[in-house]
Structure 1
Amino acid sequence: MLTRINQKNGEELSILGFGCMRFPTRAGGIDEPRAIRMIRYAIEKGINYFDTAYIYHGGKSESLLGKALAGGFREKVKIATKLPSFMVKNLDNAKKIFNTQLERLQTDYIDYYLLHMLTDKAGFDRLADMGVLTWMEELKEKGTIKNIGFSFHGAKIEFEQILKAYPWEFCQIQYNYMDENNQATKDGLLLANDMGIPVIVMEPLRGGKLVTNLPEDVIKAFAECDRDRSPAEWALRWIWNHPQVNVVLSGMSDEAQVEDNIRIASDSHANSLTDEELGVFDNVKRILHERTKIPCTACGYCMPCPAGVDIPGCFSHYNDKYLIKDKGTRFRYYRNLGAVAAQPSYASQCKDCGKCESHCPQKISIRSELKTVSKEMESVFYKAGIAIARKFMKIK
């Protein structure tokens, strides 16, 4: 298992991290004996970074990981878990959640603690105003939290603002060869690296969509260069080719995935892809670009929108719906642009002012496209659902 050094604290982290969101299941719940065996086997093979969260597997993921690490395994690994920002109503609420997490994980400290799923700077400010960051710093002084970070699911500009708003010790972003210009983007990855902030990558396979839903000509392009590599291996090697990435998380749900990912992580060095291999990705991106409905590169020149619309985010979710036929895109649109955002930013908020179009390098008819996105991504009950969700989570 290859490792990379955390530039903030000098820790040696396995380049493959075990994402604890997709454990094997049985009868509607986690198959505990099997999942525990997988975790302990992964540790024996050198994986030392385990990423979970308060909400994974309906709240059972942390407890399962705690069981798996009992009996001497805890000392061999780093645990990363997350404060569900969208569920935090006040500081006491955050403290209660954290204490529950310690109990579930059967530990008295968390190595890497994240604010979960920030989508905009306003969301960070809300937590900071509650005193959450100050409280986390107090826990860090006591050794209860070792490193403070955040996971991100918003737009590039918001990522940069959050990154510069606090002396973070690490961050977690979605990054893969399809998302090079989405969410935090490659620019965000490079900025974090320039600032000396370690980067943990999530969704390297887009929840499996870069394995199971690829167009046939993409699969053919990979196979013509190396037929022994699966699309999953190509995708993982592309990310590990970036020296700015510290750890890539993989949600492994069976033993074969664990074995295969460990094999790939044993020789995926930074800057190791050949010119021919990089050319394959150029070809793949061209194929995918041709199937993209709206040619948005997420450059951000259209932002900020006076009406609060996350224009690149709206286009990204809409493109996903058609590009990889992902059934979860409408839910993520609902979640990221409405339910958990500090300020809703969905397409139908557009006021038709046209300011964005004068700045768009791609000359996209943004107002017209936003109407299309609204029609296809927002159901009749969309706004009512968002209002209910925000009221429940006390997000104004």
Structure 2
Amino acid sequence: MLALVRLCLLFVCLKGSAAEAGLTPPHDLFMLTLNTNYTLTWDWDQSAAGSDSATFTVQYAGNHQLKKRNPKWTTVCAETSGRSCDLTRSGLNYLGLYTVRVQTNLNGSHSVWKSIQFCPDKDAAIGPPSKVRLGVSGSTLDIFITDPQNSSNNSMKEQLHKLYYEIVYWEQPEDGKGSMLMTMTTDVTILTLSEVEPWTRYCVQIRSRDDFYNKSSTFTPPLCTQTEGVVPWWKIFLFFLLSLVSCFLVVLLFLYGSHHCFHVCKATFLPNEKLPSYFKEQDGDYPCLIVSELDQCDPVMIVCPESALLEINPAVDSAALPAGLDQDRSGRHSRQNSSSSGDSGVYSAGGNSAGLQPKVALTFTDVNPTFNSEKLNMLSMNSEIKVSPIVPDEGVEDIEV
């Protein structure tokens, strides 16, 4: 019975070994590196698995661990379906020597391990400067270089202490033709090219180098700039003249715009409207309203309802004169003497020989001397009353309607 069990276990082991030997392992292992960034890549024949999906496991160990009976392997990628594994954050020492291996997993079966030797100091590529900047100082050209960066964003000079730079620069002619290349090396990050021509355009390319393992990076893209020199006096005068003219034009436009804006605002908020000339008197004073003039004069007026149009006629029919008033040659009536009654009234001539319509005489008593002929003219113009000139020294005027 015990022998039968042993035969079964042996059969299972042989079957598993045959399955593992039959599963295709990865091939074409390659370390893709730049500075301290490491990525293992491989290839695998998918046709060997058919429709099933295979996974892969990646491990590494230091070569000093391989001398032990039970070496310690560190798993980086377990059961990954991709064809690459990033070892950047695995803590590989830049000066160490490691063995990296990968295995295929399919339906619980495993292929044999495929391994590769990796030494970062020897195998890892270095990159070009992370940044290059040009500066012009007169007739010289300044170059500013930033070291290539590792995975921790620090300078690669922490790993490569003898890192230096190879600089290639050339003059770029205006006709587009090539010119002779000039080369120099430096281990500093700031340098000045003094052997350049003024007012000339130069292009620069830089790459990193390390001679211990003869490492060199690719060149940076060309970076071009133009040097300067002493500015001629005619250029200085021309720039000064242009600046002066520009300032003058700016000030002129500002003054013109301010003046125009002032007049627009004044015409909008303070329009210049003037009264007509017939509203002004000869002495320049504005005339009083008719109501106020009448209030000042305070006349006694009786209007006959037979006519709406009043006419002031200096000539009064002698037949219509009341008794007690003398008639002179000019048709004016004098005020009665002090002994007679001071009353004035309206007298109507019942009919005259000339056949004129009846007229109503309006008598103003105690006329204000300031009520002159010009004010009566204004009264006649506004109220459509025709007024005859009044003699200032006469106290009474007849108004016929």
Question: Could you say which structure has the higher strand fraction?
Answer: 2
Q: Which range, TM-score by smaller chain?
A: under 0.3
Q: Which has the higher contact order (CA 8 A, sep 6+)?
A: 1
Which is greater in Rg? Answer: 2
Question: Could you say which structure has the higher helix fraction?
Answer: 1
What TM-score results when the alignment is normalised by the length of structure 1? 0.17
